[in-house]
Chains A and B, each alone.
Chain A
Amino acid sequence: MVLKSVEKTRRETLTLAAMAGLALLIAPRMSLADEAAVAAEIKKLYGDKKLESGKIKLDVPEIAENGLVVPINVEVESPMTDSNYVKTVHVFADGNPLPGVVSYRFTPACGKAAASIRMRLAQTQNIVCIAEMSNGALHSVKANVKVTIGGCGG
């Protein structure tokens, strides 16, 4: 009897260990967003409105050694007056588990539509930036960042 109970415990332990091992194998293969996911996010926000180029200066490293901390600086050309300013800037990443990175809301009081932050990137991917002006015009820009070590706990 004693032996049997010990064996059962051992079997349970082994099963648990096997399950944990399996989970570890599956874990790094998490589902990642793609270009379509980013496009869907933009469509949700702005429908099929035309995206113009220009006006946005997106500053990201060409190669990021550490995907956990990637600096990103966005600057949008604008006089930032009460009648002509940058309302919103959205930043998306097309190779992270979730496409959203950050959304900024500026006011004319900012004087300059620029902001810096640090983000996590799971792998080499594109950063897409959309700026909405006070007159409704949309501008977009895209940049690729090569990531040496992914930053999503993998």
Chain B
Amino acid sequence: MATASIPRVRLPAQAKPGELIEIKTLISHEMESGQRRDSAGKVIPRKIIKQFVAAFNGKTVFEADWHPAISANPYQSFFYKAAESGEFTFTWKDDDGSEYVAKNKLTVG
């Protein structure tokens, strides 16, 4: 079932100063809850993305701690008030220590 986790991010490329933009993110991940059992009755070990971090020009603007109750292929949306041009860095942190990263540029003006 394990597939490569590919992040997808949707946000406008340009915004006016002070404009509120919505950022929509999606990543492919099974989000194995650690609550399920296989056919032999053994618990399938937990493997989820436990944290999502959004930073703009290196400064964290939004963070989310995800618990096993988050659905597979997690979707997360939030807002950002455009102030200056720069680059977003989105990081998804997996239980196994791996990190999935996406970067998106935003031009303000």
Chain A min CB distance to B5 (Å): 16
Chain A interface residue count: which class? 35 or more
Interface presence of A51 (CB below 8 A): no
| Residues of chain B at interface, number, CB under 8 A | 32
| Per-residue contact bits, chain B 27-66, to A (CB 8 Å; 1 contact, 0 not) | 0000001011101110000000000000010011111111
Q: Known pairs A93-B69, A105-B62, A109-B59. 20 more at Cβ < 8 A?
A: A20-B41, A22-B41, A24-B41, A98-B35, A100-B67, A101-B67, A102-B67, A107-B61, A107-B62, A110-B61, A110-B81, A114-B79, A115-B79, A116-B78, A117-B70, A117-B77, A119-B70, A120-B33, A120-B71, A153-B36
Chain A min CB distance to B46 (Å): 10
Closest 6 CB pairs of A and B: A23-B41, A111-B81, A153-B36, A100-B67, A112-B79, A118-B71
Do B33 and A152 touch (CB < 8 A)? yes
Interface presence of A14 (CB below 8 A): no
